[in-house]
Structure 1
Amino acid sequence: MLTRVRPRHGRRPATLEQLYAGRDNGIGAIRLGLAVVVVFTHGTSLGFGWEDLGESLFRGQTNTGTLAVFGFFVLSGLLITRSAARTTIGRFVWHRMLRILPALWVCLLVTAFVVAPLVALHEWGTLKGFWSGPKGPLQYVTGNWFTGVRQYGIHDLLGASTPWGRQSGGSVFDGALWSLVYEVLCYGLAGALAVTAVLHRRRWLVVCLAVALYGVVVTDQIQGRPLTGPPTPHYGQVHLPLLGEVSFHWLMYLGFLFLAGAVMELYRDRVVIHDGAGFAALAALAGSLLFGGFFVIGFPALVYTLIWASVRLPAGLRWIGRRNDYSYGVYIYGFIGQQVFAGLGWNRWGYVPYIAMSLAAAFGAAALSWHLVERRVLAFKDWTPRRARPVAKVPVQAAGPVAVADVPIAVGARTD
């Protein structure tokens, strides 16, 4: 059950600023839950060639996995905006790089040089020709190293041995990586808003940007062209250096959700957290999914539902992700395990055993990723390059105290 927190000022409802302080919140639990939902959703298509979980139930508007990705962007908007507003732009970029890239690089290396060779031995019976070719393991790593996915597969592996490969007609090892490029672009937007002082002095401009993108969503709904399926060149695509192909259509929808989360953070002193409004938003979200109008009605409802739930979850769930955050690892490794299990034919035992294996593998890989990579690199969040600085010589005196002005002061040292 969701817990109630009494307002601090009489009978007035509490605000987000009053309820969301420090790390005592449910965001870690929600993010991990969203990552698990993605694994459940991929299990139907990757393991059995069925439609994605929830697609028919939600009238073809979306599926549970994509809905989870939408949720990630709302929470990212909240968290990343808070980070961008409280740090320098250099420190902000450094933090974002540490959080995304090292774990991604290790994932790519493990996929290309550990998982893929084993799959090749299983499917080909040899590694002859594996290390070379236009779509080899090295190209897989170099093509995807900066979040933009230029190569989903390695040779033709998993192309004919998995339901997904047979339907898509190609090799795919980690299709879940597609969303990272949009996450990075949203990081860039947050950084730009911070460096131009918009987050501190012109926060209303963020509201305007969010409203403008929501206008695009409403216009799409009216004209009968809402966002469906994987990223498509509906509004055209652009090729960005390092990032590859980016769909404007997806960027606008995901950008709206990110900015909506950012608005919640910037106006946290005015965002009222009320249980009645929370349950109403949850009902509106469910109704839009089941009966239509998800993008127009469900998008705003999703934003408030997640923010409300993040501060109303029971205290027993708030410890999740506080010390060990496995959500990123579950997300980026889950797809790989499911593809490999399907290629080995382990899906023949049915959906439930297949999902159990997938979750066990995803959590195992996520735990290794967190403890061996993510947590270790995050220890360098406060690292600062040493700067060459002149050292004043301290005069040698036979007697008397040394003057303070003659003592070299290290860069960044406190003098008060």
Structure 2
Amino acid sequence: MDSRTSRWRVRWSHGTVAELLTGRNNSMGVIRLCLATAVVVSHARVLGFGRTEFGRAFTHGQVDLGKWSVYGFFVLSGILVTRSGARLGLGRFLWHRALRLLPGLWVCLFLTAFVVAPVLYWRLHGTLDGFLGRGWGPVEYLRSNGAIQLNQNDVSGVMADAMGKGVAYDRSIDGALWSLYYEVLCYVGVAVLAVTGVLARARRAVLLITCLLGWLVIRQAVGDRFWAGAFEASYLHPFDLPLVGFTNPVLVIYLGYAFALGAVIELYRERIPVSDVLGIASLVALLVSARYGFLFVVGVPAFAYFLVWLAIRLPAPFRRIGARSDYSYGIYIYGFVVEQALVVLGFARWGLVPYLGLSLAVTVVLAMLSWHCVEGPAMRLKDLGGRRPGSRRASRSGRTSPVPGPASRPADHDRVTAAP
């Protein structure tokens, strides 16, 4: 009996991930919304009041709620982007990825540079004189950040001035955008694996890559169970890539590891059981490692399995949330700038709860507008110039979907981004 149409009961196995994680009939939408909202919640204390982020005390500084949510996004993206890469040709795969990220980002950057920043500048100085003439202005902000990499954090010194006046605590006007660059690097990795035939004919190579990344993560934990993860690793150092900019190779390793775990789950989905025992055990392992150490060694793999299990095992009403309208990306890219704007405008003086509530409300409204006016219309262009990929029932690897028909349409998965 299909566990998703029966009563919720604890069982060792309800089937495999290949059988149960198909199309839109899962709870990934609500999970993505929760992860994006968690990022906004995590930033509220540090942006609004200069305090530490939520979660750092519980994890002994290993990670905070926002960064942990980013890892969750990378796991889910690893699953769905790998599925897309194995199914589509290179050109169409890159076209889908660009449509999912760039239009929403470009509009966000434009609104930040030419709407939010001028308002905040006027709030701080009582005039707009000098706004366009200052270095690193709005035009430079668009030019520097439009290709995904976050190379300019401020607009005309707005946040620097706010910090100088004691009304803000962070110099970046939309610092959450930093992770998009590393997500794109993962997309490039999937594209290379697809073109070389690895996804279709040599999936063990992906497993080996994941083990290598895992070993690089584990080696840093030896001797320090509470080490703070990617930002504190002692090997490799940041550098500038030509035509790209600042790159932290350690972040590539850590976030790439989370992404690779998702890719392995996708490529070996017919061998991975959907087990309530393993799902609960993975949650316990996650919490224990967060509290007592080795979070990145134990917690990341446990988190990967827990997210997949949760996406399948949550009750049916949760599967309808975010199934057709994905606001998670909009929440992620707008949350930080909304919180910064409200801080400069003085709303943090009301206290944490009202400030966070208003931040979430404004962010959700902007995310809805972003989806319905920008992201959704852009995604409707994904099949421009070619036949609908939904007409292809089999992936390039020759494995057919275990649940044929509309529920397993490949196009449904191209709406997901890790953006953390």
Please say whether Structure 1 and Structure 2 have the same fold, judged by a TM-score greater than 0.5. Answer: yes
| Equivalent residue number for residue 206 of structure 1 | 206
Measure, in 2, the Cα distance between the counterparts of 1:219 and 1:233: 10
Shift in CA distance, 231/79, structure 1 to aligned 2, threshold 3 Å? farther
Contact 1:282–1:302 (CA under 8 A) maintained in structure 2: yes
| Equivalent residue number for residue 77 of structure 1 | 78
Measure, in 2, the Cα distance between the counterparts of 1:171 and 1:47: 13
Shift in CA distance, 279/19, structure 1 to aligned 2, threshold 3 Å? same
| Equivalent residue number for residue 277 of structure 1 | 278
Measure, in 2, the Cα distance between the counterparts of 1:328 and 1:182: 15
- 1:16-415 correspondence to structure 2 within 5 Å: 16-161=17-162, 171-224=171-224, 226-228=227-229, 235-384=236-385
Q: Matched residue pairs, number?
A: 382
Shift in CA distance, 369/167, structure 1 to aligned 2, threshold 3 Å? closer
Contact 1:89–1:191 (CA under 8 A) maintained in structure 2: yes
Seq. identity, % = 43
| Equivalent residue number for residue 395 of structure 1 | none
Structure 2: give runs of 5+ residues left out of the alignment: 388-420
Measure, in 2, the Cα distance between the counterparts of 1:103 and 1:36: 18
Shift in CA distance, 261/385, structure 1 to aligned 2, threshold 3 Å? closer
Measure, in 2, the Cα distance between the counterparts of 1:201 and 1:87: 15
TM-score (norm 2): 0.86
| Equivalent residue number for residue 392 of structure 1 | none
Measure, in 1, the Cα distance between the counterparts of 2:168 and 2:235: 22
Measure, in 1, the Cα distance between the counterparts of 2:270 and 2:4: 21
Measure, in 2, the Cα distance between the counterparts of 1:11 and 1:127: 64
Q: CA deviation at 1:248?
A: 0.7
| Equivalent residue number for residue 396 of structure 1 | none
Structure 1: give runs of 5+ residues left out of the alignment: 387-416
| Equivalent residue number for residue 414 of structure 1 | none
The farther-off stretch of 115-124 and 225-234 is 225-234
Per-residue CA deviation, residues 315-335 of structure 1 (Å, 9 max, x unaligned), is 101111111100000000000
Shift in CA distance, 194/164, structure 1 to aligned 2, threshold 3 Å? farther
Q: CA deviation at 1:363?
A: 0.2
Contact 2:54–2:64 (CA under 8 A) maintained in structure 1: yes
Shift in CA distance, 228/11, structure 1 to aligned 2, threshold 3 Å? closer
Per-residue CA deviation, residues 380-410 of structure 1 (Å, 9 max, x unaligned), is 0100189xxxxxxxxxxxxxxxxxxxxxxxx
| Equivalent residue number for residue 417 of structure 2 | none
Q: Secondary structure at the match of 2:160?
A: coil
Q: CA deviation at 1:338?
A: 0.4
Q: Which amino acid aligns with 1:111?
A: T
Q: Secondary structure at the match of 2:159?
A: coil
Contact 1:84–1:190 (CA under 8 A) maintained in structure 2: yes
Q: CA deviation at 1:11?
A: 8.8
Measure, in 1, the Cα distance between the counterparts of 2:347 and 2:281: 42
Q: Which amino acid aligns with 1:97?
A: A
Measure, in 1, the Cα distance between the counterparts of 2:188 and 2:267: 17
Contact 1:58–1:289 (CA under 8 A) maintained in structure 2: yes
Measure, in 1, the Cα distance between the counterparts of 2:282 and 2:13: 20
Q: Secondary structure at the match of 1:112?
A: helix
Q: CA deviation at 1:31?
A: 0.6
Shift in CA distance, 11/175, structure 1 to aligned 2, threshold 3 Å? closer
Q: CA deviation at 1:3?
A: 6.8
Please identify the structure whose Cα radius of gyration is greater.
1
Per-residue CA deviation, residues 344-367 of structure 1 (Å, 9 max, x unaligned), is 111111111001000001101101
Q: CA deviation at 1:69?
A: 0.4
Q: Secondary structure at the match of 1:245?
A: strand
Q: CA deviation at 1:294?
A: 0.4
Contact 1:231–1:247 (CA under 8 A) maintained in structure 2: no
Measure, in 2, the Cα distance between the counterparts of 1:222 and 1:231: 13
RMSD: 2.5
Q: CA deviation at 1:88?
A: 0.6
Shift in CA distance, 349/233, structure 1 to aligned 2, threshold 3 Å? farther
Q: Which amino acid aligns with 1:189?
A: G
Measure, in 2, the Cα distance between the counterparts of 1:60 and 1:4: 42
